[in-house]
């Protein structure tokens, strides 16, 4: 919130970026281990204008203190908890513990460590690194008002058929042919905002938000691919994106809005020939994978005018 300072409008915040923390929990018998690795960013809106204009640091929460708080709060969490719950816990601490802090913004990216299986059995303490990342952002005000957003980064998907693109605008610069048969590949970035508006209304069920995260990912994948035998036809990335967003809101009622970003990652058909004739004739089989340039498609879908 802007303040009038010496005849100017002045806004400020400060925080700590990229605090890395890992936490291991053990089952009651000590045999099975559980691990998370989080990258935490903290941003505080606080009444510390004097540090900018009067060289008075008495109202500043040191960023080193913020870093240490991450480790202290991780230690205090004796039971497994979700990345969303940890973000809310940290934000609540900063807004309740420090009278100067009016709003705390905590962003966390969870590294995707997954339990491995050996000889068909889940390993008690072995993990491998997966691909897509679970993200969250909790904005908590001193009143307890909450904005909670979660997301997926780097969910790479591909289908080798049941995709096309035709009927688009044509002009003198257009060389792309119409097609009803192409490969469709993208890397999904999803952000969804929960409908909870207060820290006091958040469900207290263990691992509740992990269940929601997995539910959203399942809806996105099911809608992108369609049934396992026949699949589902995609007339454009835009159409598929909208169907994925709509299915998420329809099937996960406590999500108020969702934003999807789905770049169109091109697999270019390969045809090769020389003076003696054709070396490779494309028959929906040999492609050149590319990652740039790529199409950029994104959209958001909101329930009750909620905004990401």
Mark the binding-site residues for urate, compressed into ranges: 63-64, 165, 182, 237-238, 264
Choice among 16, 67, 93, 212 that is catalytic: 16
Choice among 67, 93, 107, 266 that is catalytic: 266
- Binding-site residue ranges for O2: 63, 264
- How far apart are the C-alpha atoms of 18 and 9, rounded to whole Å? 29
In the residue annotation, 16 being an active-site residue is answered as yes
- How far apart are the C-alpha atoms of 166 and 178, rounded to whole Å? 4
3 state DSSP class of 253? coil
- Binding-site residue ranges for 5-hydroxyisourate: 63-64, 165, 182, 237-238, 264
Written as six digits, the tokens of 75 are: 């230690």
CA nearest to 264, candidates 244, 241, 230:
241
Choice among 63, 102, 160, 210 that is catalytic: 63
Can you state the angle between helices 237-251 and 208-225, rounded to 10 degrees?
A: 140
- How far apart are the C-alpha atoms of 34 and 125, rounded to whole Å? 7
In the residue annotation, 65 being an active-site residue is answered as no
**Inter-CA distances, 34 with 94, 161, 171, 174, 287, Å:** 27, 39, 57, 54, 41
**Inter-CA distances, 303 with 2, 138, 298, Å:** 30, 20, 17
In the residue annotation, 73 being an active-site residue is answered as no
CB contact at 8 A, 50 and 59? yes
- How far apart are the C-alpha atoms of 155 and 132, rounded to whole Å? 5
Q: Mark out the alpha helices in the chain (DSSP H runs).
A: 50-53, 63-76, 83-97, 208-225, 237-251
- Binding-site residue ranges: 63-64, 165, 182, 237-238, 264
User: What's the full length of the chain, in residues?
Assistant: 308
What residues are annotated to the active site? 16, 63, 266
């Amino acid at each position: 919130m802007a303040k009038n300072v010496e005849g100017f409008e002045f806004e400020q915040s400060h925080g700590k970026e990229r605090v890395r923390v890992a936490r291991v929990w053990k089952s009651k018998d000590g045999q099975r281990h559980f691990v998370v690795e989080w990258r935490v960013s903290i941003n505080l809106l606080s009444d510390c204008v004097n540090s900018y204009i009067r060289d008075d640091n008495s109202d500043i929460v040191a960023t080193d203190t913020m870093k240490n708080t991450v480790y202290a709060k991780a230690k205090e969490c004796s039971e497994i908890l979700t990345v969303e719950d940890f973000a809310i816990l940290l934000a609540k601490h900063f807004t309740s513990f420090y009278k100067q802090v009016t709003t705390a913004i905590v962003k966390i990216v969870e590294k995707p460590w997954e339990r491995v299986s050996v000889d068909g059995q889940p390993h008690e303490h072995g993990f491998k690194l997966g691909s897509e990342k679970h993200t969250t952002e909790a904005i908590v005000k001193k009143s307890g008002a909450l904005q909670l957003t979660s997301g997926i980064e780097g969910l790479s998907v591909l289908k080798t058929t049941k995709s096309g693109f035709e009927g688009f605008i044509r002009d003198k610069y257009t060389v792309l042919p119409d097609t009803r048969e192409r490969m469709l590949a993208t890397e999904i970035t999803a952000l969804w905002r929960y409908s909870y508006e207060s820290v006091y209304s958040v469900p207290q069920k263990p691992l509740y938000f992990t269940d929601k995260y997995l539910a959203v990912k399942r809806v996105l994948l099911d809608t992108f691919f369609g049934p396992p035998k026949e699949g589902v036809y995609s007339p454009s990335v835009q159409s598929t994106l909208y169907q994925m967003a709509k299915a998420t809101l329809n099937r996960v009622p406590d999500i108020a809005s969702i934003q999807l970003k789905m770049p169109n990652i091109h697999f270019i058909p390969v045809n090769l020939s020389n003076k003696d004739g054709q070396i490779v004739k494309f028959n929906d089989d040999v492609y050149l994978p590319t990652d740039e340039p790529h199409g950029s498609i994104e959209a958001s879908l909101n329930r009750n005018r909620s905004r990401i």
